[in-house]
């Protein structure tokens, strides 16, 4: 049974009614039977049963008045003295109602003030404690719900902000590529512009979606790699492998491209035998993405200071989106910078 069933108004009323009925009929099931061999029904028996029902209704009213009136209004205003006065008045009203019932309907014995307090004071404080616990739990639940909604909205806002940081950074790099091709008067400028048009179409119309097919994200990455390959030519060896991706998997848009951008930013330039390796595969709903490039410590440090958002942006997005359902490892060894990402797509 879904939990939201209990959030419906009619279900709450039904649940409260059942609880009250069980609570106030329990004494009749626990006590001995009225019917004994030498016992005859007395006129007061029926009258006192009616009194018990009436008294039970009074306690129920006190429960909700205490929970929804006394607790929220009085205690939130920090007027403890007013709270005490209202509790005394409530007890006085209950005392008056009990006295009236005895005076009007009970003829076999008279109302006794001492007996009233002896038999009802415990029930009175039990109802107050129950009402207090009830409203505290309700308010905690509402606070947790509001906190969760606020956290969700903050998450959406932060993700949109982080994504908006990626797009301008990427466009800055691509436009630099176009300028380089234009200066060389390369015949590759026209197909590069077509590639750029495809990339912009993806950025404008696809990245607003919460998730996109993994195939589209890979097409986007492949177009970016093609543009970079056209720019660097034989100066950079690029090996890209995308396996087992046509299985209907989805991923957040532009989540993987920063790793590729980072490889081209730090793996090109004054680096001997520059090489970039990109591998992506999906097995059993687990995405494995590995990007490695040769690097130069001095060049890498200067580029980090001068441009780019770096990997902190992507790390933050991954933590927000996947939490413990992802693993990101960054390793620098033997002149190679390797980023290994694993995501549970389910």
pLDDT averaged over every residue in the chain: 80
State whether 253 and 319 are in the same domain: yes
User: What is the full DSSP assignment across 35-65?
Assistant: --TT----HHHHHHHHHHHHHHHHHHHHHHH
In a domain, 153, yes or no: no
Choose between 181 and 289: higher pLDDT: 289
pLDDT-based confidence at 163, cuts 50/70/90?
A: low
Choose between 165 and 251: higher pLDDT: 251
State whether 206 and 268 are in the same domain: yes
pLDDT at 57: 92
Per-residue pLDDT of 128-140, as tens digits, reads 999 889 888 888 8
pLDDT-based confidence at 93, cuts 50/70/90?
A: very high
Report whether pLDDT(75) > 70.
no
pLDDT at 33: 47
Give the span between the Cα atoms of 187 and 182, in whole angstroms: 9
* Buried-exposed string 61-73: b where 16+ CB fall within 10 A, e elsewhere: ebbebbbeebbee
Taking CB atoms within 8 Å and a gap of at least 24, the contacts of 99-103 are 101/51, 101/54, 102/51
pLDDT at 234: 86
State whether 55 and 139 are in the same domain: yes
Residue with token string 């209004």: 73
Residue ending a domain, among 147, 181, 216, is: 147
Structure token pair of residue 129:
């404690």
Give the span between the Cα atoms of 14 and 8, in whole angstroms: 10
pLDDT at 208: 67
Per-residue pLDDT of 303-314, as tens digits, reads 554 444 567 778
Per-residue pLDDT of 217-249, as tens digits, reads 898 899 888 888 877 888 899 999 998 776 788
In a domain, 85, yes or no: yes
State whether 105 and 203 are in the same domain: no
274-283/236-243 β-pairing: parallel
Give the span between the Cα atoms of 170 and 167, in whole angstroms: 5
For 52-65, what is the mean pLDDT? 91
In a domain, 75, yes or no: yes
pLDDT-based confidence at 343, cuts 50/70/90?
A: very high
Report whether pLDDT(3) > 70.
no
Residue ending a domain, among 118, 147, 176, is: 147
Give the span between the Cα atoms of 36 and 126, in whole angstroms: 33
In a domain, 132, yes or no: yes
SS3 content of the chain, % helix, strand, coil (to 5): 65, 15, 20
For 173-202, what is the mean pLDDT? 80
Report whether pLDDT(74) > 80.
no
Choose between 102 and 45: higher pLDDT: 102
Does this model's pTM top 0.85? no
The domain containing residue 167 runs over which residues? 163-344
Give the number of residues written for the chain. 346
Q: What angle do CA 156, 157, 161 make, to 5 degrees?
A: 115
Window from 48-62, 141-155, 162-176, 213-227 with minimum mean pLDDT: 162-176
In a domain, 238, yes or no: yes
Give the span between the Cα atoms of 171 and 175, in whole angstroms: 6
State whether 50 and 182 are in the same domain: no
State whether 209 and 124 are in the same domain: no
State whether 49 and 106 are in the same domain: yes
Residue ending a domain, among 116, 147, 178, is: 147
* Buried-exposed string 306-338: b where 16+ CB fall within 10 A, e elsewhere: eebbebebbeebbeebbeeebebeeeeeeeebb
State whether 60 and 179 are in the same domain: no
Residue 267: how many CB atoms within 10 A of its CB? 25
Give the span between the Cα atoms of 241 and 231, in whole angstroms: 20
pLDDT-based confidence at 172, cuts 50/70/90?
A: confident
State whether 336 and 305 are in the same domain: yes
DSSP 8-state symbol, 255: S
Give the CATH number for residue 315: 3.30.565.10
Window from 120-134, 163-177, 245-259 with minimum mean pLDDT: 163-177
Domain tally for the chain? 2
Give the span between the Cα atoms of 271 and 294, in whole angstroms: 7
State whether 56 and 117 are in the same domain: yes
Structure token pair of residue 98:
């009990």
pLDDT at 264: 87
């Amino acid at each position: 049974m879904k939990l939201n069933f209990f959030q419906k108004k009619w279900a709450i009323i039904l649940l409260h009614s059942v609880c009250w009925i069980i609570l106030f009929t329990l004494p009749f099931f626990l006590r001995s039977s009225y019917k004994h061999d030498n016992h005859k029904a007395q006129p007061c028996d029926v009258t006192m049963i009616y009194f018990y029902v009436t008294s039970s209704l009074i306690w129920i009213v006190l429960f909700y008045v205490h929970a929804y009136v006394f607790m929220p209004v009085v205690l939130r205003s920090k007027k403890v003295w007013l709270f005490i006065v209202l509790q005394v008045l409530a007890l006085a009203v209950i005392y008056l109602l009990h006295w009236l019932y005895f005076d009007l309907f009970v003829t076999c014995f008279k109302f006794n003030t001492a007996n009233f307090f002896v038999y009802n004071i415990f029930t009175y404080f039990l109802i107050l404690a129950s009402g207090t616990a009830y409203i505290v739990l309700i308010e905690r639940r509402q606070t947790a719900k509001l906190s969760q909604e606020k956290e969700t909205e903050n998450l959406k806002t932060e993700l949109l902000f982080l994504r908006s940081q990626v797009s301008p950074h990427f466009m800055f790099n691509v436009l630099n590529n176009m300028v380089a091709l234009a200066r060389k008067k390369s015949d590759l400028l026209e197909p590069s512009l077509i590639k750029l048009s495809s990339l912009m179409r993806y950025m404008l119309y696809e990245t607003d979606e919460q998730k996109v097919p993994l195939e589209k994200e890979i097409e986007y990455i492949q177009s970016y790699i093609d543009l970079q390959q056209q720019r660097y030519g034989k100066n950079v060896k690029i090996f890209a492998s995308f396996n087992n991706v046509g299985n209907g998997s989805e991923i957040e848009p532009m989540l993987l491209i920063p790793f590729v951008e980072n490889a081209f930013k730090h793996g090109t330039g004054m680096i001997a035998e520059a090489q970039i390796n990109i591998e992506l595969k999906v097995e059993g709903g687990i995405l494995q993405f590995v990007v490695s490039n040769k690097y130069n410590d001095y060049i890498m440090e200067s580029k980090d200071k001068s441009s780019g958002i770096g990997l902190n942006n992507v790390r933050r997005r991954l933590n927000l989106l996947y939490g413990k359902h992802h693993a990101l490892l960054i390793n620098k060894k033997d002149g190679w910078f390797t980023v290994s990402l694993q995501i549970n797509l389910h």
